[in-house]
Structure 1
Amino acid sequence: MTKFSANLGFLWTELSLPDAVRAAKAAGFDAVECHWPFETPAEDVAAALKETGLTMLGLNTVRGNPGENGLCALPGREAEAKAAIDQALAYAEVIGTPNVHVMAGFAKGPEAHATFVANLRYACEQAAKLGKTILIEPLNHHDAPGYFLGTSAQAVEIIKEVGAPNIKLMFDCYHLQIMEGDLTRRLTDRLPVIGHIQFASVPERTEPDCGEVNYDHIFAHIASLGYDAPLGAEYKPRGTTDEGLGWMKG
């Protein structure tokens, strides 16, 4: 049976983060994940996770200044990038989160590539001390035009170049359907480097019960590959989160 993780960056956003964790447990999710939890005391989140028995699977490094979408591929911003990595890892350690998504930001070209690789090596070194994994995620060029990382092929090459055992691909079916399509074969091909899988309808980015992707097929295919970690529900509900959970009940 497929397991699911509630992405609290989009689900139950009207609640505090600890209460959103409790709502996810009540709704039957197997885990949770989030975007930027840093304004909530980590101890409060840790308490909610302990109370519910859920794991917070992942969180992101900060976006940076207003209008930015990450720091780690921005030449000249290395000190801020490392501070963001340190912040995310420290928070993850308190709440028992195994994965940190290092956000690249808006950049392009060889210098940005070299900067991203160098910052990722730093992230992997620091994460290894805590037994944690670094994730990188391609974003589509409609929602995040100019984002440095746009395809799974680019991510795979960066993962190889970084050369650390604890860097993996965050395979977001929504972003990669828009950028590449062919999700069934893509999941099979990328499986050795996948650290987490997310989903939403395409192109709406709502509940996975509409649009151009047949998630019944995708979920069954992921299970057939032997991947059994919770899949991240990172979608924007059409109404309230609770009203839109019919897809979980089959």
Structure 2
Amino acid sequence: MIQRRDFVKSTLGLVGATLVGNALAGTNAVQPQTVVKNKFKLQYAPHFGMFTNSAGKDVIDQLKFMADNGFTALEDNGMMGRPVEEQEKIAKEMTRLGMKMGVFVVDKGGNGQNTLAAGKQEFIDIFLAGCKKAVEVAKRVNAKFMTVVPGDFQRNLPIGIQTGHVIDALRRGSDILAPNGLTMVLEPLSDTPNLFLRTSDQTYEICRAVNSPACKILFDVYHMQKNEGHIIPHIDWCWSEIGYFQIGDNPGRKEPTTGEINYKNVFKHVYEKGKAENKDFIWGMEHGNAYPGKEGETALIKAYVESDSFTV
């Protein structure tokens, strides 16, 4: 027969455990533990707006969600257009989370309206002013890389003359960026045949001619798959001048596994080659979500987990 004192002791123990459990549950409900769900081998950089259904519209909440899911970098093409206060707020939170800043686009750093291929002084002045402004933004947000697109092809000028104009302008931009330890990354694009810069080997040639650590290639796998294919050999050929990568599957420009590119092999190749040379790249996730809503965002994360699961 159970003794009364044992019964009381047992009952109190159960009640205490229940109360503690309830208290912990309440605490967890208000202050959830931050648990990194994924441990990626590469530094993938989402952008704002990619996870709004899961994290909400606030950029700080989005940063926290990215970090909680294992992403260690951020890419924000429009950073130069954000108010200074917001730039500082983002940078502070990224420092707290241990995240790196990827590229932002240099404001008017060469486009259809002020193409560097034209060789016009007014266009060069606009580009150089953008570089000077980019230095201040980069310091504010702890960035090392910024995207530059030279602009449109000039049909009234021979290609060699255009290339010379672009090289001259980029050398002057490099003179602004290099003393600050910054690098502009030139992005060949597939958006329109009117663009001057279209392939990785063309960009390699220009970077070699500029001959500065402040001028490298942004190798966007999506654009290069469309324009030239043969992705891994082109990466190898251009390796010494590549400073940054961007991601997007083709067709569709969505997350890996949704198109024809074998990203697992691409990631593995760059990881192993980079590790052998102590080079660690940021990979900007410059693509859309293949599926809508929170479910689509979950599917996107799973796609990266799958593509990052290569063996080394």
Note the 1:115-154 alignment, pairs <5 A.
115-140=165-190, 143-154=191-202
Choose 90-99 or 237-246, whichever is displaced more. 237-246
Structure 1 counterpart of 2:88, from 14, 21, 43: 43
2:79 is paired with a residue whose SS is coil
Counterpart residue number, 1:100: 146
CA contact (8 A) 1:205 1:235 kept: yes
Choose 220-229 or 203-212, whichever is displaced more. 220-229
Task: Give the CA deviation at 1:202.
Answer: 0.7
Amino acid at match of 2:50: L
CA contact (8 A) 1:4 1:233 kept: no
Note the 1:122-201 alignment, pairs <5 A.
122-140=172-190, 143-201=191-249
CA contact (8 A) 2:72 2:98 kept: no
Task: Give the CA deviation at 1:178.
Answer: 0.8
Change (3 A) 1:92 1:173: same
TM-score by length of 1: 0.88
Matched pairs, number:
247
Choose 148-157 or 17-26, whichever is displaced more. 17-26
CA contact (8 A) 1:61 1:70 kept: no
Change (3 A) 1:177 1:165: same
Where structure 2 has 5 or more consecutive residues not aligned to the other structure, the ranges are: 1-39, 307-312
Output one character per residue of 1:58-86: Cα deviation in whole Å (capped at 9) or x when no partner: 21112479x84875445331111111121
Q: Which has the larger radius of gyration?
A: 2
Which structure is higher in RCO with an 8 Å CA cutoff and minimum separation 6?
1
Task: Give the CA deviation at 1:48.
Answer: 2.2
Where structure 1 has 5 or more consecutive residues not aligned to the other structure, the ranges are: none
Output one character per residue of 1:76-126: Cα deviation in whole Å (capped at 9) or x when no partner: 311111111212222111111011222212233445433321221122111
Counterpart residue number, 2:305: 249
Choose 38-47 or 171-180, whichever is displaced more. 38-47
CA contact (8 A) 2:80 2:106 kept: no
2:254 aligned with 1:215: no
Question: Residues of 1 paired with 2:230 and 2:247: CA distance?
Answer: 14
Counterpart residue number, 1:224: 272
Choose 187-196 or 228-237, whichever is displaced more. 228-237
Task: Give the CA deviation at 1:39.
Answer: 2.9
Name the structure with the higher helix share.
2
Question: Residues of 2 paired with 1:69 and 1:204: CA distance?
Answer: 27
Task: Give the CA deviation at 1:54.
Answer: 0.7
CA contact (8 A) 1:2 1:228 kept: no
Question: Residues of 2 paired with 1:213 and 1:64: CA distance?
Answer: 30
Q: Structure 1 vs Structure 2: percent identity of aligned residues?
A: 25
2:36 aligned with 1:6: no
Counterpart residue number, 1:75: 119
Question: Residues of 2 paired with 1:19 and 1:88: CA distance?
Answer: 26
Amino acid at match of 2:284: G
Question: Residues of 1 paired with 2:230 and 2:47: CA distance?
Answer: 28
Counterpart residue number, 2:74: 32
Note the 1:53-92 alignment, pairs <5 A.
53-63=98-108, 68=112, 71-76=115-120, 77-92=123-138
Question: Residues of 2 paired with 1:89 and 1:187: CA distance?
Answer: 28
Counterpart residue number, 1:233: 285
Amino acid at match of 1:33: E
Question: Residues of 2 paired with 1:189 and 1:216: CA distance?
Answer: 20
Change (3 A) 1:101 1:20: same
Change (3 A) 1:16 1:86: farther
Question: Residues of 1 paired with 2:113 and 2:257: CA distance?
Answer: 28
Question: Residues of 1 paired with 2:192 and 2:108: CA distance?
Answer: 12
TM-score by length of 2: 0.72
Question: Residues of 2 paired with 1:148 and 1:91: CA distance?
Answer: 27
Choose 67-76 or 104-113, whichever is displaced more. 67-76
RMSD: 2.5
